[in-house]
């Protein structure tokens, strides 16, 4: 059974995508069924890991180093579950825009295979232990994502997709170079085996540096963030939701594993300071740019730049001087919480923004005035997501910030605490304008808006409620994340 639980989250979306190419007529139904099926499998896998601990399979029966191992620990299984949950909501939300009724259309053909391949790429990235296999998974993920950005076919989305492509190509070739160096030095690509054999010699240090740089570009860490806002805001809303909520998390999880599971000894104080500082700059700079935007989707996209910045605070808070304090594991767990909370809230926000866009006809901020009267459910979903993004209680974002703040102050690194608080305040500022307009008393006559069925408004609400629930019932996920947690997540990154 373990074999199927680990294999099918990868195999089913792949199979569905291929069938969707051949039989486009059933693509939309097939994709939705796949989303629900993989969600069921992910729940089952989480139950299995909670019950029996981390599980793994050697593909084709070939153990590493010759073969490739899929492995589900608390971290991998929970990212898998969050991804499946978001896909299960995003795929039905995409029906309205992409399910062909009657003759096949260009976008109706292309959307479903690309979304499913993105899904398969995410799942592989969370499960695989093999650096080269991760490279191929990231390529599948990224190329599908680039194609989704371009799917509207307008000049500005083509430009955004090309810019994304240029950054992505550079990121992937750097990651590949690092993986190749690691294999050349130690004759294995398996992360578990590399952790056992890799010494702190400098070819390995160069390999890790190159992989980190490549992954940072793919995660849009400042100063490699320029591609993200136009790409994420230009895509159609369901694609934006996948791109912003999920795609950067895949490369980040690989980076987290690389440093905490493979080469914790290489983390010098300077390195953790640099990564943490870039993250902090991303938080502030992304938020400031979000404040200046006049279009809702751009605000949400710039917010992603800022929110991804928090993830990199794990390096100083669980490394360097942070390593010595008992809250290092708290910081490691906190960034996963933050990633989940952001993923759920951001997907909800983009889906809601897509509904607003459909109702109003454009996504300039003034169009939102008084929208809560006409679309109460979607506006409520947007409001709940905003709470999670600002890090207010009782959301999952609050749990994450609370854990990060605790470890910042426990290790005497109050400067990161200032960044956390400032980031929350700035998020309140950039989200205040759309919220204030949405819930204002006067506004356009609801009769002038295109109607949006309540069933569609419920999808973002479901995701936003999950982001809040993550904070209310945080002890379950907290304990689950500790299953198979690398020792260095507790001991801290230290040379």
Partner 1 sequence: MTGLVFDLLLCALLLAAGLAAVVARGLFAGVVFFIAYGVFVALGWLRLDAIDVALAEAAIGAGLTGVLLLGAIGQLSRAGAEAPAPRPNIPLALACGGLSLLLGAAFLALPDAPGLQAEVAAALPISGAENPVTAVLLNFRAIDTLLESIVLTAVLVGVWALARDDAWGCRPGLPQRVRPDGVLAGFGRLLPPLGLMVGVYLVWAGTKQPGGAFQGGTVLAAVWLLAAMAGAVTAPRVTDLLLRAALVAGPILFLAVGIAGALGGSFLGLAPAVAGPLILAIEVALTLSIASTLALLVLGPPEARA
Partner 2 sequence: MSGFVTFFGLAGAGLIGLGLYGFLAHAHLLRRLLSFNVMGSGVFLMFGAAAARSPALGADAVPQALIITGIVVKLAGTALAVALLVQLARSLGRAALPEDEEGPRA
Binding site for partner 1 (CB under 8 A): 3-4, 6-8, 10-11, 14-15, 17-19, 21-24, 57, 59-62, 65-68, 70, 103-107, 109-110, 113-114, 117, 120, 124, 128, 132-133, 136-137, 139-140, 143-144, 146-147, 150-151, 153, 158, 177, 181, 184-188, 201-203, 206-207
Site track for partner 2 across 160-179, x = CB under 8 A: -xxx-xx-xxx-xx--xx--
Min CB(177)–partner 2 separation in Å: 5
Interatomic CA distance for residues 119 and 448, integer angstroms: 37
Indicate the burial class of 63 (C-beta count within 10 angstroms; 0-12, 13-18, 19 or more). middle
Indicate the burial class of 37 (C-beta count within 10 angstroms; 0-12, 13-18, 19 or more). middle
Question: Which residue in this structure is represented by tokens 């950039």?
Answer: 430
Q: Is the CB of 18 or the CB of 415 nearer to partner 1?
A: 18
C-alpha closest to that of 286 among 311, 274, 308, 303:
303
Q: Is the CB of 36 or the CB of 180 nearer to partner 2?
A: 180
Query: Binding partner of residue 163 among partner 1, partner 2, none, CB under 5 to 8 Å per kind?
Result: partner 2
Q: What are phi and psi of 154, to 5 degrees?
A: -85, 160
Interatomic CA distance for residues 332 and 481, integer angstroms: 10
Interatomic CA distance for residues 417 and 411, integer angstroms: 11
Interatomic CA distance for residues 31 and 107, integer angstroms: 15
Among 21, 44, 58, 132, binds partner 2 (CB under 8 A): 132
Q: Is the CB of 162 or the CB of 205 nearer to partner 2?
A: 162
**139 CB neighbour count, 10 Å cutoff:** 16
Query: Binding partner of residue 165 among partner 2, partner 1, none, CB under 5 to 8 Å per kind?
Result: partner 2
The verdict on 180 binding partner 2 (CB under 8 A) reads yes
The verdict on 146 binding partner 2 (CB under 8 A) reads yes
Interatomic CA distance for residues 152 and 161, integer angstroms: 11
Q: Footprint of partner 2 on residues 191-230 (CB under 8 A)? A: 226
Would you state the torsion angle of the CA atoms of residues 257, 262, 267, 271, taken in this order, to the nearest 10 degrees? -50
Q: Is the CB of 22 or the CB of 187 nearer to partner 2?
A: 187
Binding residues for partner 2, total number by CB under 8 A: 30
Among 11, 33, 99, 158, binds partner 2 (CB under 8 A): 158
Interatomic CA distance for residues 215 and 450, integer angstroms: 42
Min CB(221)–partner 1 separation in Å: 20
Query: Binding partner of residue 47 among partner 1, partner 2, none, CB under 5 to 8 Å per kind?
Result: none
Min CB(48)–partner 1 separation in Å: 15
Q: What are phi and psi of 472, to 5 degrees?
A: -70, -45
Min CB(162)–partner 2 separation in Å: 5
Q: Are 395 and 467 in contact (CB under 8 A)?
A: yes
φ/ψ bin of 23: left (φ > 0), alpha (ψ from -120 to 50), beta (otherwise): beta
- Distance, CA of 119 to chain centre: 12
Q: Is the CB of 68 or the CB of 408 nearer to partner 1?
A: 68
Beta partners for residue 190, in sequence order? 130
Q: Is the CB of 170 or the CB of 491 nearer to partner 2?
A: 170
Residues that bind partner 2 (CB under 8 A): 66, 132, 135-136, 139, 143, 146-147, 150, 153, 155, 158-159, 161-163, 165-166, 168-170, 172-173, 176-177, 180, 183-184, 187, 226
């Amino acid at each position: 059974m373990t074999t199927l639980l680990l294999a099918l989250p990868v195999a089913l979306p792949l199979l569905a995508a291929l069938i969707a190419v051949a039989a486009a007529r059933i693509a939309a139904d097939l994709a939705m069924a796949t989303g629900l099926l993989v969600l069921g499998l992910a729940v089952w896998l989480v139950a299995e890991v909670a019950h029996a601990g981390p599980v793994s399979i050697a593909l084709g029966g070939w153990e590493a180093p010759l073969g490739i191992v899929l492995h589900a620990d608390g971290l991998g299984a929970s990212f898998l579950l969050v991804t499946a949950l978001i896909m299960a909501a995003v795929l039905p939300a995409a029906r309205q825009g992409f399910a062909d009724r009657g003759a096949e259309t260009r976008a109706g053909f292309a959307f479903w295979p690309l979304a499913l391949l993105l899904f398969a790429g995410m799942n592989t990235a969370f499960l695989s232990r093999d650096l080269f296999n991760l490279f191929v998974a990231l390529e599948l993920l990224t190329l599908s994502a680039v194609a989704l950005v371009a799917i509207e076919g307008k000049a500005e989305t083509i430009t955004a997709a090309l810019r994304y492509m240029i950054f992505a190509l550079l990121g992937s070739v750097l990651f590949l170079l690092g993986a190749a160096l690691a294999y050349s030095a130690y004759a294995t690509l398996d992360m578990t085996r590399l952790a056992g054999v890799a010494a702190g010699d400098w070819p390995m240090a160069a390999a890790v540096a190159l992989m980190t740089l490549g992954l940072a570009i793919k995660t849009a860490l400042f100063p490699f963030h320029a591609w993200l806002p136009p790409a994420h805001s230009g895509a159609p809303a369901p694609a934006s939701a996948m791109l912003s909520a999920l795609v950067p998390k895949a490369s980040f999880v690989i980076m987290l594993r690389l440093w905490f599971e493979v080469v914790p000894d290489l983390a010098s104080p300077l390195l953790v300071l640099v990564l943490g500082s870039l993250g902090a700059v991303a938080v502030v700079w992304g938020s400031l740019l979000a404040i200046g935007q006049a279009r809702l989707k751009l605000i949400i996209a710039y917010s992603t730049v800022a929110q991804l910045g928090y993830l990199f605070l794990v390096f100083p808070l669980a490394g360097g001087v942070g390593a010595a304090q008992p809250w290092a594991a708290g910081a490691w767990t906190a960034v996963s919480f933050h990633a989940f909370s952001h993923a759920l809230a951001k997907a909800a926000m983009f889906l809601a923004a897509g509904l607003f866009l459909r109702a109003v006809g454009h996504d300039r901020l003034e169009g939102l005035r008084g929208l809560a009267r006409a679309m109460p459910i979607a506006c409520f979903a947007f409001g709940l997501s905003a709470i999670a993004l600002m890090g207010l209680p009782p959301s999952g974002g609050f749990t994450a910030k609370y854990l990060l703040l605790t470890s910042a102050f426990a290790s005497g690194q109050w400067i990161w605490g200032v960044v956390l608080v400032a980031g929350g305040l700035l998020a309140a500022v950039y989200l205040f304008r759309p919220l204030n307009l949405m819930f204002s008393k006067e506004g356009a006559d609801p009769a002038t808006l295109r109607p949006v069925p309540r069933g569609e408004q419920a999808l973002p609400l479901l995701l936003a409620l999950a982001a809040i629930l993550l904070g209310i019932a945080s002890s379950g996920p907290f304990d689950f994340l500790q299953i198979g947690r690398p020792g260095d997540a507790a001991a801290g990154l230290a040379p």
